[in-house]
Homo-oligomer: A and B are copies of this chain.
Amino acid sequence: MAQSAVKKVVLAYSGGLDTSVILKWLQEEYGCEVVTFTADIGQGEELEPARAKAEAAGVKEIYIDDLREEFVRDFVYPMFRANAVYEGEYLLGTSIARPLIAKRLIEIAAETGADAISHGATGKGNDQVRFELGAYALNPEIKIIAPWREWDLLSREKLMAYAAKHGIGVEQKREGNKSPYSMDANLLHISYEGYDLEDPWTQPGDAMWRWSVSPEQAPDQATEIELTFERGDITAIDGKAMSPAEVLAELNRIGGANGIGRADIVENRYVGMKSRGCYETPGGTIMLKAHRAIESLTLDREAAHLKDELMPRYASLVYNGYWFAPERRMLQAAIDESQQVVNGVVRLKLYKGNVSVLGRRSETNSLFDESIATFEEDAGAYDQTDATGFIRLNSLRLRVAGRKRG
Contacts and interface: CB of A to CB of B under 8 A. Distances in A.
Interface residues of A, number: 127
A175 interface: no
A5 B327 CA distance: 43
Contacts of A275: 373
A353 B260 CA distance: 12
A242 interface: no
Interface string A279-299: 000000000000011001100
Given A300-B327, A329-B337, A124 B399 contact: no
B215 A354 contact: yes
Given A123-B387, A202-B359, A352-B353, 20 more contacts: A83-B88, A87-B304, A123-B386, A124-B382, A137-B401, A149-B388, A198-B374, A203-B358, A264-B357, A272-B395, A273-B397, A274-B368, A303-B330, A324-B398, A326-B401, A333-B333, A367-B397, A382-B396, A386-B389, A387-B389
7 contacts: A149-B387, A200-B359, A300-B401, A302-B397, A306-B327, A309-B309, A369-B403
B203 A352 contact: no
Interface of A: 83, 87-89, 122-124, 128-129, 132-133, 136-141, 146, 148-149, 154-156, 182, 193-195, 198-203, 215-216, 220, 222, 262, 264-268, 271-276, 292-293, 296-297, 300-309, 312-313, 316, 322, 324-327, 329-331, 333-338, 347, 351-354, 356-361, 364-370, 372-377, 382-404
Most buried by B among A156, A198, A308, A366: A308
A27 B113 CA distance: 50
B377 A129 contact: no
A212 to B, nearest CB: 12
Contact of A373 (B198, B303, B358, B394): B198
Given A373-B275, A394-B129, A330 B325 contact: no
Given A337-B330, A360-B200, A392 B383 contact: yes
B356 A262 contact: yes
B384 A148 contact: yes
B312 A140 contact: no
Q: Which 10 A-B pairs have the closest CB atoms?
A: A389-B389, A123-B384, A272-B396, A268-B301, A140-B399, A140-B402, A386-B389, A201-B359, A136-B395, A194-B375
